[in-house]
Amino acid sequence: MNIAVLLAGGSGKRMGGPEPKQFIKVAGNPILEHSIRAFSANPGIDEIVIVCHADYLDLASGIAKPYPKVKHVVPGGKERYDSSLAAIRLYCDHPQDNILIHDAVRCLVSQRIITDCLNALQKFEAVDVAVPCTDTICEVNSDGHIVRIPARSSLRNVQTPQGFRLNTIAKAYELGLKDPEFITTDDAGVVHRYLPDTPIYVVNGESTNIKITFPEDLILAEKILKSDNK
């Protein structure tokens, strides 16, 4: 099977609203629903799992009710990786299945990106989505001095979904959780660090596949969604 996991556990503090940003309405529907709809529409996706804060399970379940591919709505944890693990552990008996882990607030993900990730998983055990960096990136030290300027041509801005063979991502986390210095910001980073011999193929992302974080992102998302629905 191909399983899509929508991580919807964020608090959305930077948005400044009364509710987490994944439940804010854009173009008439909650952000979470737009993401559910995108993965539901893809014929390659068999099941969808939503991971959210325990306080919002009923709200998320209500949003998901019209979408039969949504099989589970489960609570996450304190850290992002706790939410990923909550979904991964649901399918521990299906090690050869594929899993796409996606930030639910990237509600503009295209069918092309989803399909390309699924196709890449036929050959690779781990897949990431990224776009070329358009700005020069510099590395600084604790004094604020530039110590390195990597070649921009080799740099990418990472997006989601990130895709994995279930046994691969489960093994990476098993190793990572044994590390007393375990820190991660995304799932592909766990594979890269703890399964270094596993190639991670990069699928081309899109500039519109934004992560809604700030109020101005809502304006852009609204504009894109209304344009797509014309």
Give the pLDDT confidence of 129-163 residue by residue, as tens digits: 999 999 999 999 999 999 999 999 899 999 999 99
Query: What confidence tens digit (pLDDT) does each residue in 91-115 have?
Result: 989 989 999 999 999 999 999 999 9
Residue 204 CA to residue 66 CA, distance in Å, equals: 31
Strand partners, 72: 49
213 within 8 A of 14, measured Cβ to Cβ: yes
Q: Count CA within 13 A, CB hemisphere, residue 133.
A: 13
The pLDDT value recorded for residue 9 is 86
Work out the burial of residue 174: count CB atoms within 10 Å of its CB; fewer than 13 is exposed, 13-18 middle, 19 or more buried. Answer: exposed
The answer, yes or no, to whether residue 15 has pLDDT greater than 80, is no
In the CATH scheme, what is the code of domain 2-130+158-228?
A: 3.90.550.10
Q: What is the mean pLDDT of residues 157-182?
A: 97
The answer, yes or no, to whether residue 82 has pLDDT greater than 90, is yes
List, in order, residues 6 or more apart from 168 with CB less than 8 Å away. 125, 126, 191, 195, 198
Mean pLDDT (the chain, rounded): 94
The pLDDT value recorded for residue 12 is 57
In angstroms, the Cα distances linking 56 to 19, 76, 82, 98 are 10, 11, 16, 27
Q: What is the mean pLDDT of residues 4-30?
A: 83
The pLDDT value recorded for residue 77 is 85
List the chain domain ranges. 2-130+158-228
Task: Give the whole-number percent of the chain exceeding pLDDT 70.
Answer: 96
Q: What is the mean pLDDT of residues 156-184?
A: 96
Count of CB atoms situated within 10 Å of the CB of 78: 8
Q: How confident is the model at residue 74 (pLDDT cuts 50, 70, 90)?
A: very high
